[in-house]
Chain A
Amino acid sequence: MSAPVLDVRGVVKTFGDTVVLRGVDLSVGEHQVVALIGGSGSGKSTLLRCASLLETVDDGQVLLDGEDVTDPRVDADAVRRRLGVVFQAYNLFPHMTVLDNVTLAPTVVHGRPKAEVQEEARAMLARMGLADKAGEYPDRLSGGQQQRVAIARALGVRPRVLLLDEITSALDPELVGEVLAVVREVAAQGMTILMATHEMGFARQVADTVAFLDGGVVLESGPPEQVLGDPVEERTRRFLARVIDAGRL
């Protein structure tokens, strides 16, 4: 058994007096897809931000390929270069075309030849149904299209692990299917993925492991059928009941 690609150990994160994470343990193995579920405000985004070094943790460790990236001595930029992140609110650069958004990091950060990167980016955009949008500016795209560009942008750097923060929450139901297919394809190609999601159906289909975040800890984790179908913890049960009521399972 190889070491996990991403290993979160006892991570604590507070904002002032609010304790958001109080000792989260979570590991994502090579080629694994882990879905992070939990109520709104349970800290899913915070955990992903800690893992991508956008926040400093207040205790605990995050290991990327066995390296402690929460050590203040590590070069955070170099670590982020090995990660792909898609945010809840796309965060595309509004002053650049779709193609420039996707090719920015591979060319500027990784120094790869522009022509090669552009060709790759166009192919990726085409796979995501955005072939004709390459020259468009993000403001002129629908929310769903913008989110797909954001995924393409994150994949452009060939990350070690892809962190997805509720990438489907802004998409129309029909587009969810498309993006799901893209994520599944990416996973099948061996990408390691940690994703926060409210879509239990999505988690069930794509994830190998589902982790339920509650009260600042991973309360329960395991295969989707088990955690989503027959949870051990009472709180997980209640959360899922609420989600089913909302019609999202």
Chain B
Amino acid sequence: MTPGLIGAPLNVAQLYLDGVCRSFDGFKAINGLSLAVEKGELRAVIGPNGAGKTTMMDIITGKTRPDEGKVVWNGDTDLTRIDEAGVARLGIGRKFQKPTVFETHSVEDNIRLALKAPRGVFPVLFDRRSAEENRRVTEYLDRIRLTHLRAETAANLSHGQKQWLEIGMLLAQEPQLLLVDEPAAGMTDAETMETAELLKSIAGERTVIVVEHDMDFVRALNCRVTVLHQGSVLAEGSLDHVSAREDVIEVYLGR
């Protein structure tokens, strides 16, 4: 255990952000952000536009380097020193706010590229498609209900289908931690609820952090909620707890 860190979080926290700061051109997008998430936890992160939710994910995944602070993974690894691919290989998967899939590849190939497997050039170059791999691809396609579009080029999918595909890619990586940025955008109400169910079913076995503006969705997740505001934590607790707080209503919910 690193000396200087107080309290229990480090022992149990799978992910621990400690006093993280990051400014862009003098603007403090993340400002002394501290957050601990336990293994297997499902956590919702809410907050107004520009609160720093996406930037927080950028920092966890090695896309953005913080100016200050640490991001501790499993109590011993400082993620701020690792590049994106390295963070992904540690078992941290991410879904972007804007759905990002490989547009010119088929739906199937999108999943195939995401499947947990060696990522080095040569093993990938000589990778032979196996029956087992096909079985796994089918399994994830079934799970996101895109099996019928298996051979379709991803560019031809609707916005919602791309969201599903990206979620499928995230699952196929079999990460220990899933960072999911606004998964419900572009989905129908029914799909939104399905997504909530899906994420709930994944949590427990894996850790899930979800950013979402849709309050029905957050309610359906029925989990601990962190409210971000101006780059740091404004409130944390159950949805009922945080949504009863004056300051949260003022900066976010009340608008």
Check if A and B associate.
no
Residues of B bordering A, CB below 8 Å = none
